[in-house]
Amino acid sequence: MKILITGGAGFLGDRLARALLALENLPLAGAAPGPVEHVVLVDRVEPRADLLADPRVTPVTGDVAQLLPGILDGVELVFHLAAVVSSEAERNFDLGMRVNLTTTMQLLEACRRLPSPPRLVFASSLAVFGSTPALPLPVVITEDVLPTPQSSYGIQKFIGEQLVADYARRGFIPARTVRLMTVTVRPGLPNAAASSFLSGIVREPLDGRPSNSPVGPETLVAVTSPARTVEGLLRAATARDSEWGAHTAVTLPALTVSVGEIVDALTRVAGPDVSALVGWQPDPAIAAIVESWPSRFEAARARGLGLSADENFDTIIRAYLDDTVPKEA
């Protein structure tokens, strides 16, 4: 089986590629399991060297839209993760539209034109839900709540969801959408996502550096670990049509936690000297985006697929430390 991941050198793309390569076989949409023989990682930068050392991995560097349709040759499964993240899409409208919307449209159409279209999994976001005083969201987001995005990123992702649903409904390509929660803790440098601080207030203090929360400790957020996110993406690829159900997006389960509780978990896991490195300087622009997002989800369809939220934030921090702290010989 040949699999393509757009955004393949990014944090989630890297994790997903490693998970796929670790599988002996993948039962695509409930079919007979097939071996993962080839993983193509498309991104503007190259993947990490140890991933490239696997002979089954092929890196393709460049713009996804400009590489179509050639990168789809022989591909049976596409994970479309490439995106301009929330704050960056808000600052640069044209870039967000080009990457988040136009490229998604071009990818769908390129898949449609193939003699045997690949199955496609589109990564959307909780940012498709937004609340305003005039149209407040319910306390808990259930499967029947209509998305009302309040950012360019959320709008672009929601349009992508609808396109994927229509291409699937019409039988053009077998395609599914999963809505991802805020994934934390991400290693490396901060990115331009409005939610980036949710990793920063853990990652930087653990490295002995100060970090700042742009929102108050009472702010509730919906989060998930990298492992649970990859689990959800893989389940979108393997579920039978009868299990998946409607063409509308499946919202992945979330752990609801306040930012203050994240810092409390950091204290329990790493000690008060570490958590004392977290500051509380407000940023109204970031706060406006983050506080418009819902924090509680029912995710009944995801639970029906066997998916669940992380137990607590302590386990998320410990998993991050297991992944990133070098083990003693």
Q: Would you please indicate which residues are annotated as catalytic (active-site) residues?
A: 153
- Phi, psi for residue 120 in degrees, rounded to 5: -125, 135
CB half-sphere exposure, 323, CA atoms < 13 A: 18
Whole-number Å distance between alpha carbons of 100 and 94: 10
| Cis before 78? omega within 30 | no
Nearest to 317 by CA among 225, 227, 214, 231: 225
Whole-number Å distance between alpha carbons of 264 and 314: 9
Cα 124–chain centre separation? 7
Strands 220-224 and 255-258: antiparallel
Q: Are 307 and 255 in contact (CB under 8 A)?
A: no
Name the token pair of 117: 């279209």
Q: Are 238 and 3 in contact (CB under 8 A)?
A: no
Q: Give the dihedral of Cα atoms 266, 267, 271, 274; nearest 10 deg.
A: 60
Q: Are 123 and 236 in contact (CB under 8 A)?
A: no
Helix (H, G, I), strand (E, B) or coil at 197: helix
Name the token pair of 52: 């490239």
Whole-number Å distance between alpha carbons of 42 and 152: 24
